[in-house]
Amino acid sequence: MTLLCHINDIDDDSSKGFNLGEDSLFAVKKGGSVFIYRNKCPHLGVELNWLEHQFLDSEQALIHCTTHGALFLIEDGACVAGPCLGKSLEAVSFDLIDGQIHLR
Ligand code: FES
């Protein structure tokens, strides 16, 4: 297991990017829950963000790919608008132990 960060290191209704060697991931916190995905758009396989740690749309309601504007649900990564409609972000499994996020 890899320690990512403490849950309090991510603000509610915001996102945070992480680079772990070759792997680029991001976490989103919503309603006190954390969701983690690989930073790879299912459309062209590129990273979703242009600005560091900014993976959400302007309302902080959906995950946003800056390349062609695809939108994804925070809760399950499903694409709900854009060129990869029907596909999903790849979720990363983790365990929360004493507030610390450990990747599986
Ligand atoms: S690469 Fe993400 S929408 Fe095209």
pLDDT (0 to 100) of residue 86: 95
Q: Whose CA is nearest to atom 3 of ligand 1?
A: 68
Candidate from 26, 38, 39, 41 with most ligand 1 atoms within 8 A of CB, to mutate: 41
User: For residue 65, which atom of ligand 1 is closest to its CA?
Assistant: 2
Residue 22 pLDDT? 87
pLDDT tens, residue by residue, 61-97: 999 999 999 999 999 999 999 999 999 999 999 999 9
Q: Which residues have any ligand 1 atom within 6 Å of their CB?
A: 41, 43-44, 46, 65, 67-68, 70, 82-84
- Beta bridge mates, 26: 17, 37
**How far away, in angstroms, is 48 Cα from ligand 1 center?**
7
Whole-angstrom distance, CA of residue 85 vs CA of residue 24: 22
2-59 pLDDT per residue, tens: 999 999 999 999 999 999 988 999 999 999 999 999 999 999 999 999 999 999 999 9
The predicted pLDDT at position 1 comes to: 83
- Give ∠ CA 17-20-21 in degrees, rounded to 5: 135
